[in-house]
Amino acid sequence: MSTFASAREAARAAAWLETYGSPLYVYDLGEVELRARELLAVLPAGSRLLFSLKANPLPAIAARLCQLGCDAEVSSPGELAVALSVGFPAERVLYTGPGKSAEEVHRALGAGVTGFSAESWLDLERIDRAARAARVRARVLLRVNPNAPPVARLAMSGVSSQFGFDETELVEGRARLASLDGVELMGLHIYQGTQLADAQALLAAVQQALEVGEALCGALEMPFQVVDVGGGFPWPFATPGVGLEAAALQGPLALLAARRQRTASSALWFESGRWLCASSGALWTTVVDVKRSKGKQYVVLDSGIHHLGGMSGLGRVPLVGMGVARAGAETEPGALEEVNVVGPLCTPLDCFARNLKLPSLRPGDHVFIPNVGAYGLTASLTGFLSRPPPVEVAHRDGVVLSVSRLRWGHESYEPPATARLRSKQEAR
């Protein structure tokens, strides 16, 4: 997507902004399909691709990825509910994440999910206990934190972290693994970080994960049915551009898979959130005010860090790049100005971009932020300042397939009956 919307895109967006209000998230399911097909086509034969709902739990997106043959990776009761509601069979769901409560493990088992990634001894023993109580066997992947880090914007392995077992810890504690009756140890889960730098970094991470698989398969003297090598497939965030060329991965991935020895017959699983849905989404906003302060030009939008990149204020998300949708803006002579683009929240952290060169903007103009289909709305500070969440529209070829809005505001809360009883007994 370039800095200027095409006339077709601009006209479509203008009509939807008129109907559903501004700001508006627009997701093109055609893009989701394209990305999923591209990635599925280049993975080694027999691999499975898990869609990580944390990137975007919008049901229309999850449903399409389910239909296209992806499995689901979920990390919360909410993501699980979406996955099941859009048709992922429970046996195609992997429940991951540190800090899973006994209650959520119990509920997931109750919903038929038996695939879990265990992040620690306690997590593993909790899954084991819950499975025994439910009289089922949980199929568990041990999440491993490899010794070396990947080249990632947000490395989650190879450094001290809350994620997974350190490689050495697992080997030293292997006798503990033998004592679990409620779980079947299926293999390993190695997720090294999101937004890996490029194809080379991605292939290096997969290679490292496969090597860890080989080493642990030997050290634990255990066959692995599955080696989940994670992903981290990169795509630009909130700025124009495209991600890596998927086709370039096919040959090298096949070679890496073929080099395996001890794990040669293990199924390979890959995970992706960002790459599958980043390009599908754009946040369309409207300019509310244009003002000057101490020599700087400010463009105030009707959307801010409560709708996109709430973590940018914490320095974890880069400032964004924008596109402009006013007809003729791209041809206005000498019209580029340096502006700070800010949102409507009462904090200086509510800033999308500093010193960005944009055509001169006026109140009422539409500005869009591309590549926000992943880690957009639900990775933002949606509760901050109590402004309503934007409507989300999913379409295919301009035909609207779903229109929804995240729930907003407070609802009264009734604790479950057991908790009421406990608190009454404690009060006595």
Ligand X SMILES: Cc1ncc(COP(=O)(O)O)c(C=O)c1O
Binding-site size, ligand X (CB under 6 A): 18
Return the DSSP state at 107.
H
Interacting residue with ligand X among 32, 55, 66, 287 (CB under 6 A): 55
248 phi and psi angles, rounded to 5 deg: -70, -15
Specify the residue, 43 or 374, whose C-beta has the smaller distance to ligand X: 374
Binding mask 360-399 for ligand X (x = CB under 6 A): --------------x-------------------------
Nearest-5° Cα angle at 97, 279 to 244: 25
Look at residue 95 and give its three-state secondary structure: strand
Interacting residue with ligand X among 157, 263, 272, 279 (CB under 6 A): 272
Nearest-5° Cα angle at 267, 199 to 246: 25
User: Least separation, in Å, of the C-beta of 43 and ligand X?
Assistant: 14
- The piece of 207-215, 249-257, 268-276, 302-310 that touches ligand X (CB under 6 A) is 268-276
Interacting residue with ligand X among 22, 120, 145, 194 (CB under 6 A): 194
Buried b (16+ CB within 10 A) or exposed e, 266-292: bebbbbbbbbbbbbbbbbbbbbeebee
Amino acid letter, 11: A
- The piece of 15-23, 48-56, 321-329, 362-370 that touches ligand X (CB under 6 A) is 48-56
Residue 96 found at the interface with ligand X (CB under 6 A): yes
Specify the residue, 155 or 290, whose C-beta has the smaller distance to ligand X: 155
Which of these, 145, 271, 166, lies nearest to 208 by C-alpha position?
A: 145
Specify the residue, 25 or 237, whose C-beta has the smaller distance to ligand X: 237
Specify the residue, 163 or 284, whose C-beta has the smaller distance to ligand X: 163
Is residue 256 within 8 Å of residue 214, measured between CB atoms? no
Interacting residue with ligand X among 146, 150, 231, 390 (CB under 6 A): 231
Return the DSSP state at 379.
G
Q: Cα 26 vs. chain centroid, distance in angstroms?
A: 17
CA dihedral 250, 49, 216, 205 (to 10 degrees): 50
User: Least separation, in Å, of the C-beta of 97 and ligand X?
Assistant: 7
Residue 273 found at the interface with ligand X (CB under 6 A): yes
Q: What does the block give as tokens for 393?
A: 């529209």
Q: Can you give the binding site for ligand X, defined by CB under 6 A?
A: 52, 54-55, 73, 96, 191, 194-195, 230-233, 271-275, 374
